[in-house]
Amino acid sequence: MLYWIPHVPERLQQGLFPVVRWLHIVCTSLLVGGTLFYEFVIPRAIADLKEETQLAVLGRVRWFFRNVVIFSAIILILTGSLSVYHQWPMYNGEFHPVQPWLYVHLILGLLSLVIAVLAMIRTRAPRQPLIWLRVNFIILLVVIFIVAVARHLRLMIREDAERFPPNPMEMRP
Amino acid sequence: MESILIVFFRWLHITTACVAVGGVFFLRIVFPIALRSLDAEAARTMLLRTRRIFKMVVHTCILLLLISGSYNAWMNWPKYTAMGRGLGHSLFGTHLLLALLVFALALWLLAGPEPKKNHLKWMAINLGLMFLTIAAASVLKYARETHSAPAVISKNQ
């Protein structure tokens, strides 16, 4: 349907899109599920331990989760850019009303990635839960909601176009 | 009203899947690293506590995924049929079978107060199956969107 790289076989390009989408969802899962686990599950699990033990556990988890967050952020930006490039015709012309939702998704998505990376690159493990990661969890849920709305709008416009195809006489220059 | 429900259930399905997959990744990959800093008794206590909390999360996720997945399948059924030659239904069937396998494995792994023997190995297998389930859904979505490109998209290119 859509080509993105010239001189690369169509079948290969077609196979690339599901992989890009898969990577985008997997990295989103690592961020959303990881944040939930880090902020809501681990603090409850370590509540009975001594304070120094709690800090040791949080420090180790944080060290590994920071790498996961940075890796996910890079992959999300790369796969997101490729998806937008690939699906650009589906945000233009008849699909123009979907564009604002795409921009909100992009802005909020980037904001959540910046917050996640900044919250995780602090060198010391905090004693209190990270309020910013909790805010970020909500932002991530909103980002997923926005993309669900954008997709639904796109499909509605597409279904209308399939039901009422453009008149070839009107398309003539 | 229908549009609101479609968007809501799609959002619920993706969000719940993200929470489940990310949670399993965290419990299997990140959590064991944290446990290494504890002595055996403290590590075991923490594992059991985390497992108990995570069990509630996973059970809720399975329920929400079944509800939202059923609604999505019901709404998309004619589209799968329209894809022709059984493509839509075979991809959806693969996604559904993998998902049911993941649920069964998760319920079995989290059953009882004590973790199963080789629970880390089984959790890694379940994580791999989760990634495959998402891959099946990605291919299904792509196939559905590309099986017939309407004139408006071709015009925009």
Give the mutation candidate from B6, B19, B28, B45 for the A interface (greatest A CB count, under 10 A): B19
CA distance to partner chain B, nearest, from residue A96 (Å): 10
User: Considering the entire predicted model, what is its pTM?
Assistant: 0.86
Give the start-to-end residue ranges of the domains of chain A: 10-162
Mean pLDDT of B103-129: 90
Asked whether B31 and B50 are in contact (CB, 8 A), the reply is yes
pLDDT digits 0-9 by tens, B70-92: 999 998 888 888 877 678 888 89
- Rounded Cα distance between B156 and A59, Å, is 51
Nearest residue to A153 via CA among A114, A111, A113, A95: A95
CA distance to partner chain A, nearest, from residue B64 (Å): 15
Nearest residue to B12 via CA among B59, B99, B71: B71
In single-letter form, the type of residue at position A38 comes to: Y
pLDDT digits 0-9 by tens, A56-85: 888 888 888 889 999 999 999 999 998 888
Asked whether A31 and B40 are in contact (CB, 8 A), the reply is no
A158: tokens are: 């597409």
Rounded to the nearest integer, the mean pLDDT of chain A is 82
The CA R_g of chain B, rounded to the nearest whole Å, is 19
- pLDDT class of B156 with cuts at 50, 70, 90: low
Asked whether A146 and A101 are in contact (CB, 8 A), the reply is yes
- Rounded Cα distance between A132 and A149, Å, is 26
How many residues are there in chain B? 157
Q: Number of residue pairs across A and B with CB atoms under 8 Å?
A: 166
Asked whether A137 and A34 are in contact (CB, 8 A), the reply is no
pLDDT digits 0-9 by tens, A2-30: 556 667 777 777 778 888 999 999 999 99
Residues 92-111 of A with CB under 8 A from B: 92-95
- pLDDT class of B10 with cuts at 50, 70, 90: very high
Residue whose pair of structure tokens reads 């992989």 in the numeric block:
A19
Asked whether A49 and A43 are in contact (CB, 8 A), the reply is no
